Chain A
């Protein structure tokens, strides 16, 4: 109990006397989350939409595998990415281990299935409703997929938010591939892990409160943008 109240005091202190180091950690967290979610969305949303509106031989197996990958354990992904980017691994020559780039790569592997599957679910229901319509007007496949994505853009914000949530709170993968190096690859979650291991429970929890606060601010910003979009009329279907 004592630790919890101390945590609020120390988090307040951390926010009030926002030092360069903490700011650096927060900004790196944002940066990694931003790129990981951006890349996952660019790849995952069209892929999900394509899978939802197309029927091919092994579609169901591909979809089942993707849905299963939503539960990928971060530690296993971290280890996998580590072994690939290790100097002795197949991509070791790139020298990317212990850099923010490889942390983004690990997170994309974690987030891509989530973005892809949630998009799949949203677009599939649209597809069952409209595919007859599209067929009768002989609208090209690509055009209809684009129409699905544009039309469900509000629902897709939730998908992006889910990706952000997973990304910003993830620690297992990025601590392995990033190494939690001071000033280089330390993000909020790995800093929390470090402070916990030092026994600074109040500071760790304080950082946790800041993580939660920044996540809320980030999400409300996106929901605010979404709200602005919702007010402007103009749906394609």
Chain B
């Protein structure tokens, strides 16, 4: 009897724990991983709640997968950083409108000792990548169809090089998220591409450092809303509030105040 009672007690304890939080306005953001890993959403969520009353729930996957999930209507809005993929999403009729709202810079990071060994003096991302190709230095690709991966592929394309043909002796694909890829690059002393916010927030830098920036293109984050005709479940009015806030002076101020290691992580547009 006693044992039955204790079981009932335990059960009720767990049921009490499971009280679901009923929330008036919450939206699911399908997002690129970098924004979550840098702590941006953690910073943004309470501010958004305060000014718009909307609570955000973030699912951080690569840009490619975020778009795929959005096509399945598993979310309310898309925040990603690959212009071509976003425009493609608009073209398929799923996307309604795409608004660029902030940016930062693309960087290439690599092992500190390589700076003297392979004599990289220039600081432009494309030139460094060309040197890596010439010298067959180890380079790590995300290989996961994320925004950063798409950017890397477009850089090789600009150099008229085809990564599919690179020997696997120096060109390695991790197929993992940005953090895991940086960790592997750091561990085996390889080069990889990332953005400034992710790099500032990444704690396990070890022997790696920034080698150069992309001086031509910015890493632009856009918020893309979804066509309610394709996805009936989306909460358009709450999404609209978020978009309006991000583009308002108040929102821009909020974005520019987010800093990592005393440096601005993102710049509002």
Binding site for B on A (CB under 8 A): 27, 30-31, 34-35, 86-89, 92, 95, 97-98, 100, 179-182, 184, 194, 196-201, 225, 228-229
Contact = CB atoms under 8 A, between A and B. Distances in A.
Given A31-B18, A34-B14, A182-B42, A198 B73 contact: no
Contacts of A225: 3, 6
Given A92-B73, A196-B179, A225-B3, A181 B58 contact: yes
B45 A199 contact: no
A30 B59 contact: no
B37 interface: yes
A184 B181 CA distance: 27
Interface string B30-74: 000100110001100100000000000111100000000101111
| Number of chain B interface residues as a range | 35 or more
A103 to B, nearest CB: 12
A98 B3 contact: no
17 contacts: A34-B14, A86-B74, A87-B73, A87-B233, A88-B73, A92-B72, A92-B73, A98-B57, A98-B59, A180-B59, A180-B60, A182-B42, A194-B36, A197-B33, A197-B37, A199-B182, A225-B6
B162 interface: no
B45 A182 contact: yes
A26 to B, nearest CB: 11
A92 to B, nearest CB: 7
Interface of B: 3, 6, 14, 17-18, 21, 28, 33, 36-37, 41-42, 45, 57-60, 69, 71-74, 177-180, 182-183, 201-205, 231, 233
Contacts of A98: 28, 57, 59, 74
Contacts of A30: 14, 17
Given A31-B14, A87-B231, A181-B57, A198 B37 contact: yes
A130 to B, nearest CB: 26
Contacts of A198: 37, 179, 201-203
Nearest to B183: A199
